[in-house]
């Protein structure tokens, strides 16, 4: 199979690329390295990497024409500055529109899209069901990712939109874990917010996406979620244990930022029903793998779509 992955040098895209290459698929990744890393994709047979911007219609036309993908996995996204509305709109809205139009033109078998759980805003139910209304208004990232989901739907393409809980694992540079690692190993102060998240190990996510690439599941939206949430403090404690550290006083717990939500717990029942699996790797197994990656490759930068709360 030929699979085109936008954002293929990123965290999720690169793990997926490796999975597909290992089973003999042909993969083309297009990435502008905005938040992706060059060392995420090692050169290998059947892998083509194109450095470029998905907003560039000519480039995307030529990529689609020369590669002729069977399936497109659209993982490129912009989120690294909460105030950069223009970049978010360009990559997430226009870039998705370009990807969708090219997928229509080449009549791809399926387009796979990743949506943020922030599309639900402050949830009115827990767990959040798939027909919970969209309320992305608090975040530029969520607004633009939600507009993009509408374009994916409007296209009439056979598509699967995966709305994701918080993915973590090797190569993950956004969210709390890489921040804990960089600050703790640099001897800097750390705090945790009084929030809870459903943490999903990236390989569990890749297992489900691989099935969707192979045609499993129906057109529409699915949650990728373990169905349980854990506090950020639990994640922190797991990181401390793995780093072999002992703190002389308990970690400071701070109230969440105004654009943050207390918990995001997605209902994974439709995913369980149609794909037969949901993420189940416990933090005690996934965090050591993420930390082993940070130790080996280092972290030069971490990213967040939230307004940063200043550390003391």
Ligand X SMILES: NC(=O)c1ccc[n+]([C@@H]2O[C@H](COP(=O)([O-])OP(=O)(O)OC[C@H]3O[C@@H](n4cnc5c(N)ncnc54)[C@H](O)[C@@H]3O)[C@@H](O)[C@H]2O)c1
Binding interface with ligand X (CB under 6 A) = 6-7, 9-13, 30-36, 53-55, 75-78, 91, 95, 114, 116, 145, 164, 166-167
- The span from the CA of 266 to the CA of 173, in Å, is 22
By beta-carbon proximity to ligand X, the closer residue of 54 and 213 is 54
List, in order, residues 6 or more apart from 11 with CB less than 8 Å away: 36, 40, 167, 169, 171, 172, 173, 174, 202
Q: Are strands 196-197 and 230-231 parallel, antiparallel or unpaired?
A: antiparallel
CB of 75 to ligand X, least distance (A): 4
Instruction: Check if the beta carbon of residue 93 is closer than 8 Å to that of residue 152.
Output: no
CA 221 and chain centroid, separation: 15
C-beta of 33 vs 273, nearer to ligand X: 33
Residue 63 CB, nearest approach to ligand X (Å): 11
- CB-nearer residue toward ligand X: 79 or 275: 79
CB of 189 to ligand X, least distance (A): 25
Q: In angstroms, what is the minimal distance from the CB of 187 to ligand X?
A: 27
Nearer to ligand X, 245 or 299 (CB): 299
Q: How far is the CB of 205 from ligand X (least distance, A)?
A: 8
Say how far apart CA 24 and CA 6 lie, in whole Å.
19
Measured from the CB atom, the residue of 220 and 247 that comes closer to ligand X is 220
Radius of gyration, alpha carbons of the chain? 19
Residue 254: beta bridge partners? 193
């Amino acid at each position: 199979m030929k699979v085109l992955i936008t954002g293929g040098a990123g965290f999720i895209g690169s793990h997926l690329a490796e999975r597909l290459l290992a089973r003999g698929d042909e993969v083309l990744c297009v990435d502008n390295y905005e938040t992706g890393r060059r060392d995420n994709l090692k050169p290998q047979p059947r892998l083509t990497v194109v450095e470029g911007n998905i907003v560039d219609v000519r480039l995307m036309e030529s990529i689609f024409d020369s590669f002729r993908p069977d399936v497109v996995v659209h993982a490129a996204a912009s989120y690294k500055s909460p105030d950069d509305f223009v970049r978010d709109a360009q990559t997430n809205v226009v870039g998705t529109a370009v990807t969708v139009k090219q997928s229509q033109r080449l009549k791809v078998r399926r387009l796979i899209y990743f949506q943020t759980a922030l599309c639900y805003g402050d949830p009115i139910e827990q767990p959040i069901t798939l027909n919970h209304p969209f309320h992305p208004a608090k975040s530029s990232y969520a607004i633009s990712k939600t507009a993009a989901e509408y374009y994916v739907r409007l296209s009439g393409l056979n598509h699967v939109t995966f709305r994701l809980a918080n993915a973590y694992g090797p190569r993950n540079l956004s969210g709390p874990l890489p921040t804990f690692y960089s600050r703790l190993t640099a001897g800097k102060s750390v705090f945790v917010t009084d929030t809870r998240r459903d943490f999903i190990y990236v390989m569990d996510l890749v297992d489900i996406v691989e099935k969707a690439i192979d045609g499993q599941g129906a057109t529409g939206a699915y949650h990728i979620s373990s169905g349980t949430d854990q506090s950020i403090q639990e994640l922190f404690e797991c990181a401390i244990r793995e780093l072999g550290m002992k703190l002389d006083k308990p970690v400071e717990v701070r109230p969440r930022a105004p654009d943050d939500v207390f918990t995001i717990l997605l209902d994974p029942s439709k995913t369980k029903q149609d794909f037969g699996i949901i993420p189940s790797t416990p933090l005690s197994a996934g965090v050591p793998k993420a930390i082993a990656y940070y130790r080996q490759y280092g972290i030069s930068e971490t990213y967040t779509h939230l307004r940063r709360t200043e550390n003391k």
